[in-house]
Amino acid sequence: MQDALKLAVERIERTNAVTPLLDAEVLLCHVLKKERLFLYTHRNKSLSEEAFKAFEEFVEKRIAGMPVQYIVKKQEFMGLDFYVEEGVLIPRPDTEILVEAVIKWANNRKNDNITIVDIGTGSGAITVSLAKYIKNAFVYSIDISRRAITIGKKNAVSNGVAEKIEFLEGDLFTPLKNKLEGKVDILVSNPPYIPKEEIDKLQIEVKKYEPRLALDGGTDGLDFYRRIIDEAPFFVKKGGYIALEVGHDQAELVKELMENKGLYTEINKIKDLAGIERVVVATL
198, with CB counted inside 10 A (0-12, 13-18, 19+), is middle
2, with CB counted inside 10 A (0-12, 13-18, 19+), is middle
Q: What is the pLDDT of residues 207-264, one digit of tens each?
A: 887 778 878 788 888 999 999 999 999 999 999 999 999 998 999 999 999 999 999 9
CA distance 74 to 27: 11
- pLDDT tens for each residue of the chain, 284 residues long: 888 888 899 999 888 888 999 999 999 999 999 888 888 888 888 888 899 999 999 999 999 999 999 999 999 999 999 999 998 999 999 999 999 999 999 988 876 899 999 999 999 999 999 999 999 999 999 999 999 999 999 999 999 999 999 999 999 999 999 889 999 999 999 998 788 888 888 877 888 877 788 787 888 889 999 999 999 999 999 999 999 999 989 999 999 999 999 999 999 999 998 899 999 999 99
CA 52 to chain centre: 32
For the chain, give the mean pLDDT: 92
What class is the 2-64 domain?
mainly alpha
- From-to residues of CATH 1.10.8 in the chain: 2-64
Q: What is the pLDDT of residues 56-79, one digit of tens each?
A: 999 999 999 999 999 999 999 999
Question: How far apart, in Å, are the Cα atoms of 261 and each of 12, 112, 171?
Answer: 48, 29, 22
Residue positions in the annotated binding site for substrate?
Answer: 190-193
Q: What pTM does this model have? A: 0.91
- From-to residues of CATH 3.40.50.150 in the chain: 87-283
Residue positions in the annotated binding site?
Answer: 120-124, 143, 190-193
Q: Which CATH architecture has domain 87-283?
A: 3-Layer(aba) Sandwich (3.40)
CA distance 23 to 204: 15
Residue positions in the annotated binding site for S-adenosyl-L-methionine?
Answer: 120-124, 143, 190
